[in-house]
Amino acid sequence: MARAIFLDRDGVINRVVWRRGKPGSPRLVEEFRIDPAVLEPIRALHNAGLRLFVITNQPDLARGLLSWASLQRMNSLLSAQLPVEAIVVCPHDDRDDCDCRKPRPGMLKRIAAERQVELSGAFVIGDTWRDTGAARAAGCTSIILDRCYNRSDEADYRVKNFSEAVQLVIERTRL
């Protein structure tokens, strides 16, 4: 069974949008910028036989700040450029108390059930405590990309950039 890699979207695959000094998700298609530095490393993961999934919290849907149409266009852009099997979205806010909003493991468990993925051998690459918390709750290995906004967030591994995360995953999956 091929191992799975779960990628957070905002701050990992695409650039965050800064609002009032805080990192956030793009709300408009024009704000959605896939980081060119992730393209080749993601292809390397795919070429290594790893299954790739995107898991993303999008609370701006629940808050009425992001339309479903804009989100679908962003996800279409992502799917057209990257070899991912699926993009799974949590459209809820914290107050909704759902099981899919990271740090809960609902999105990971859903993919595992629907796509026959073994979570114990999977990796989650993220940029916040929510990503690493979901990984921990699902029994996955967590990798956090070092950012100015996550210095106190814990993970199994902390790396400087996405390329370093991919090198780590490829090395660990060869063991």
**For residues 88-92, average pLDDT:** 98
Structure-block tokens of residue 35: 């980081």
- The catalytic residue among 10, 60, 127, 153 is 10
Catalytic residue check, 96? no
pLDDT interval class at 175 (50, 70, 90): low
- Of 8, 60, 127, 131, the active-site residue reads 8
Of 1, 22, 5, 2, the residue nearest 169 (C-alpha): 5
Provide mean pLDDT across the span 32-44: 97
Residue 108: band (very low, low, confident or very high) from pLDDT cuts 50, 70, 90: very high
Taking the C-alpha atoms of residue 136 and residue 122, their distance in angstroms, rounded to an integer, is 11
Domain ranges of the chain: 4-174
Q: SS in 3 state form for 8-31?
A: ECECCCECCEEECCEEECCCCHHH
The CATH H-level superfamily of 4-174 is HAD superfamily/HAD-like (3.40.50.1000)
Give residues with Cβ within 8 angstroms of 164, minimum separation 6.
none
> Is the model's pLDDT at 76 over the cut of 90?
yes
Taken in order 64, 70, 72, 74, the sign of the CA dihedral is negative
- Find all residues with CB under 8 Å of 79, minimum gap 6, and list them: 87
